[in-house]
């Protein structure tokens, strides 16, 4: 026996020095951990003889394999720790010599059936990923690690705490792969679809998980990793990074309810470089088109995500694709109306839809059009409005004006125009003229809607609800000088429409009130009073319409007289109580009064008197317009003001 021991000792002494140094770092009891003094000797030797590094790494890998097969996991941990220290110490010189052995050791641990070894391997890989290499690496593959870390992100371990740790570890591993490869052209292209289709779903699955009580949260760690991944994406990588997100949301039915889908794209939009954000918008638009035959809830979810993405993207880089955006949204709006009318969202009439579902989608599209419009500079908003007008039936141009779709198209226009902020550029003549022509349509619902649109266009300070005094800017003055007569003419003619009802007269009063508040100057006030005086003469109207017109005149003049004209004018207005006063209240819904039967005779003494109003304005700043005031109002077809 002694001879045998002597022989063994002799053989050990004959072993290569690097093997003896490696063996010496392992203590007799693995609980004692790495022998630090001997590890320092091994490190010094490796630095002094770098040609031995590959042999040291190979022998460490051999030791780890042997200990792993014997289930001596304490020694396995020591081997990994030693390799980590060698990597840190030697990375400036010959790290490539160590890396292959290091990665093979990690593969062994990740292929084992012990979760704690998976976590150990991932931790080592993350440390390695944070090392900046000075020398290029060739033919190094991380495909296995992408696949394995992604699998760890989907862990369903029966112990929730262990499952949580494995998932967090997998996420960190993926983060390490990205850091290690994304900036090195010689490394594997992590942005290839085959990698993104593993990485992105693995992250999204954990992004859906709620924060766990105690310990680390996969959700929080995932968001950090996801943001870092997107933040490193160059122009050509955005598509490959976003496509798996769309596929994941499709396959898991996550557009409906949209809260998670919106969260995903908020992260995407805030994480990518701002100049690339229009690429995300383009992908969402393409995906919306691809889902044209999907249920309304899916389409609405995609559209609402588009809307929120547009708000985030407010820098305006959507510019190059402006018309594409609105063309796609208008197409979806038209399709939705068709589906609503047929009751099916496919050509084969197999998949039913409901009016309520399609209405939800239409509201989402309208909201999104507004969101996009709000990101554009003023000059582009004007161009977009003209583009939309070219898509919508206009009297004299498109015979399909009276189609069932008209109301929906108009709603979309209204919201679109509400986002405009400059009357002069937001309301060009080429748009205003066809819009005003709708005030004379036979359909009372469309007429009422156009009155609301006109009010909204002018009411940029939201005065319709509270009507305070406002200053008229130079641009507003230019606008009213150019378009006032068109507006007055259509108000005059709309008042005389037999099919007008209570809502129309209420809308007319609101429009006139907002017009006087937003755009009023002496000339405008004089013209508005002339218009009201002309409206009082309407012998050919029915009793209801005559009551409505009187109601408009009385209510509007009462408001106008309080906005600045001389006190005598206000006194005259408050003294006049037309015999239809109670009926006027009925028109505006305050009390319920029966309409008089037969003819409605109105004594001229109970009407607003032109001569008394002229007298009230004399001696004030309105004196310069007295000659104009004494000229009866007549509707004009052009925008130039009447000089007669």
Residue 609 has pLDDT above 70, yes or no: yes
Please give the pLDDT value at position 640.
44
For residue 475, give the nearest of 432, 421, 513 by alpha carbon: 421
For residue 61, give the nearest of 41, 48, 47, 76 by alpha carbon: 76
524-576 pLDDT per residue, tens:
888 888 888 888 776 567 777 877 888 888 888 887 777 767 777 777 877 77
Alpha helices in 154-253 (DSSP H): 160-181, 193-207, 218-231, 238-251
Confidence of residue 196 (pLDDT cuts 50, 70, 90): very high
| Mean pLDDT score, 384-401 | 54
Confidence of residue 149 (pLDDT cuts 50, 70, 90): very high
For residue 475, give the nearest of 450, 458, 453 by alpha carbon: 458
Residue 287 has pLDDT above 90, yes or no: yes
CA 88 to each of CA 43, 83, 362: distance values in angstroms, whole numbers, following the listed order: 10, 9, 59
441-465 pLDDT per residue, tens:
676 766 776 777 777 666 666 655 5
| Mean pLDDT score, 383-411 | 53
**Range ranked top by mean pLDDT from 315-329, 551-565, 578-592:** 551-565
Please give the pLDDT value at position 136.
61
Q: How many whole angstroms separate alpha carbon 283 and alpha carbon 289?
A: 10
Please give the pLDDT value at position 4.
38
Return mean pLDDT, the chain.
77
Please give the pLDDT value at position 491.
84
Please give the pLDDT value at position 110.
94
| Mean pLDDT score, 638-643 | 44
Residue 387 has pLDDT above 90, yes or no: no
For residue 388, give the nearest of 367, 409, 359 by alpha carbon: 409
Residue 3 or residue 436, greater confidence: 436
Confidence of residue 417 (pLDDT cuts 50, 70, 90): very low
Please give the pLDDT value at position 471.
55
Q: What percent of the chain has pLDDT over 70?
A: 72
Domain limits of the chain? 445-637
CA 579 to each of CA 490, 585, 592: distance values in angstroms, whole numbers, following the listed order: 27, 12, 16
Confidence of residue 398 (pLDDT cuts 50, 70, 90): very low
87-116 pLDDT per residue, tens:
888 765 567 778 888 999 999 999 998 999
pTM: 0.67
Lowest-confidence region among 85-99, 145-159, 244-258, 467-481:
467-481
Confidence of residue 346 (pLDDT cuts 50, 70, 90): confident
Residue 64 has pLDDT above 70, yes or no: yes
Q: How many whole angstroms separate alpha carbon 595 and alpha carbon 587?
A: 10
Q: How many whole angstroms separate alpha carbon 148 and alpha carbon 167?
A: 11
């Amino acid at each position: 026996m002694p001879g045998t021991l002597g022989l063994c000792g002799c053989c050990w002494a004959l072993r290569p020095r690097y093997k003896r140094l490696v063996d010496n770092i392992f203590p007799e009891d693995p609980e004692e951990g790495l022998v630090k003094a001997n590890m320092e000797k091994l490190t010094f030797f490796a630095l002094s003889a770098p040609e031995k590094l590959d042999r040291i790494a190979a022998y460490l890998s051999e030791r780890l394999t042997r200990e792993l097969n014997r289930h001596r996991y304490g020694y396995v941990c020591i081997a990994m720790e030693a390799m980590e220290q060698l990597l840190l110490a030697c990375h400036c010189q010959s790290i490539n010599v160590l890396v292959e052995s290091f990665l093979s050791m990690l593969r062994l641990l990740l292929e084992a059936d012990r979760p704690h070894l998976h976590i150990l391997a991932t931790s080592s890989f993350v440390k390695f990923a944070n090392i900046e290499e000075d020398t290029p690496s060739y033919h190094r593959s991380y495909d296995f690690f992408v696949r394995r870390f992604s699998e760890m992100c989907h862990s369903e371990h029966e112990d929730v705490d262990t499952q949580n740790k494995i998932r967090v570890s997998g996420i960190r591993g993926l983060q390490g792969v990205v850091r290690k490869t994304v900036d090195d052209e010689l490394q594997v292209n992590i942005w290839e679809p085959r990698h993104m289709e593993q990485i992105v779903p693995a992250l999204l699955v954990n992004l859906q998980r709620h924060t766990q009580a105690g310990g680390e949260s996969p959700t929080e760690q995932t968001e950090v990793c996801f943001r870092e991944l997107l933040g490193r994406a160059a122009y050509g990588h955005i598509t490959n990074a976003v496509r798996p997100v769309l596929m994941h949301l499709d396959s898991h039915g996550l557009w409906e309810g949209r809260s998670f889908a919106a969260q995903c794209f908020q992260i995407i939009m805030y994480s990518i470089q701002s100049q690339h954000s229009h690429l995300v918008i383009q992908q969402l638009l393409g995906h919306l088109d691809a889902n044209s035959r999907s249920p309304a809830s899916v389409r609405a979810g995609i559209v609402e995500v588009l809307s929120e993405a547009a708000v985030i993207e407010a820098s305006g880089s959507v510019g190059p694709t402006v018309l594409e955006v609105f063309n796609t949204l208008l197409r979806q709006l038209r399709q939705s109306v068709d589906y609503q009318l047929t009751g099916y969202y496919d050509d084969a009439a197999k998949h039913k839809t409901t009016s309520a579902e399609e209405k939800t989608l239409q509201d989402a599209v309208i909201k999104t059009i507004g969101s996009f419009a709000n990101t554009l500079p003023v000059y582009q908003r004007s161009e977009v409005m003209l583009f939309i007008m070219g898509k919508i039936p206009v009297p004299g141009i498109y015979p399909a004006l009276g189609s069932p779709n008209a109301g929906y198209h108009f709603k979309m226009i209204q919201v679109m125009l509400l986002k405009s902020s400059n009357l002069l550029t937001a309301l060009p003549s080429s748009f205003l003229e066809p819009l005003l022509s709708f005030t004379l349509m036979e359909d009372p619902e469309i007429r009422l809607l156009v009155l609301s649109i006109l009010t909204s266009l002018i009411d940029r300070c939201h005065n319709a609800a509270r009507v305070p005094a406002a200053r008229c800017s130079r641009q507003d003055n230019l606008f009213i000088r150019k378009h006032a007569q068109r507006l007055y003419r259509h108000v005059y003619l709309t008042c005389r429409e037999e099919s007008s009802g209570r809502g129309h007269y209420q809308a007319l009063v609101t429009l006139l009130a907002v017009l006087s508040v937003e755009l009023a100057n002496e000339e405008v006030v004089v013209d508005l009073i002339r218009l009201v005086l002309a409206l009082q003469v309407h012998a050919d109207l029915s009793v209801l319409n005559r009551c409505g017109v009187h109601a408009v005149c009385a209510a509007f003049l009462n408001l106008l007289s309080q906005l600045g004209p001389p006190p005598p004018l206000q006194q005259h207005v408050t003294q006049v109580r037309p015999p239809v006063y109670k009926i006027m209240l009925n028109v505006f819904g305050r009390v319920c009064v029966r309409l008089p039967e037969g003819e409605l005779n109105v004594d001229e003494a109970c009407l607003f008197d032109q001569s008394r109003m002229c007298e009230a304005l004399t001696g004030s700043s309105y004196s310069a317009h007295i000659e104009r005031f004494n000229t009866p109002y007549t509707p004009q077809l052009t925008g130039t003001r009447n000089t007669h």
